Amino acid sequence: MQYILLIYDVEPAAAPTQEEIRAEMTAYNAFTDEVRTRGLLVASEALHPVASATSVRVRDGKTVTTDGPFAETKEQLGGYYVLNCKDLDEAIEMAAKIPGAKHGTVEVRPIIDFSQM
């Protein structure tokens, strides 16, 4: 079954140092290598900061856009992995290994396979 692992974190007030960026990228690259080697990786991407987001709504047949994310929260969606895991336990195991889980939140959600309906 496929699961999406949504990575939420508080965007930093100040830019991280080059050393901090390298350490975080090294950790993420190691995680990505592990899920790729285990044959779990379907897709993954990092997202631009929340300031680049545009929310779209249709109300009374009219498209309305708003700068920024849908919700006003401290934590913002920063990226995701889609993994093909045998079950929820394996998805949780992998979510706990995502570096962002140490200081943010990783939401695990099963993906509906409409081809099976």
* pLDDT at residue number 71: 63
Residue 69 has pLDDT above 70, yes or no: no
More confident residue, 23 or 56: 23
Residues 43-71 have a mean pLDDT of 86
- Which pLDDT band, with edges at 50, 70 and 90, does 11 fall under? confident
Residues 68-75 have a mean pLDDT of 69
Q: Mean pLDDT, the chain, as a whole number?
A: 91
Residue 61 has pLDDT above 80, yes or no: yes
* pLDDT at residue number 4: 97
The interaxial angle of helices 88-97 and 18-37, nearest 10 deg, is: 150
Residue 32 has pLDDT above 70, yes or no: yes
CA-wise closest residue to 28 among 1, 52, 2, 9? 9
Burial of 82 (0-12, 13-18, 19+ CB in 10 A): middle
Residue 46 has pLDDT above 90, yes or no: yes
What domains, with CATH codes, occur in the chain? 2-116 (3.30.70.1060)
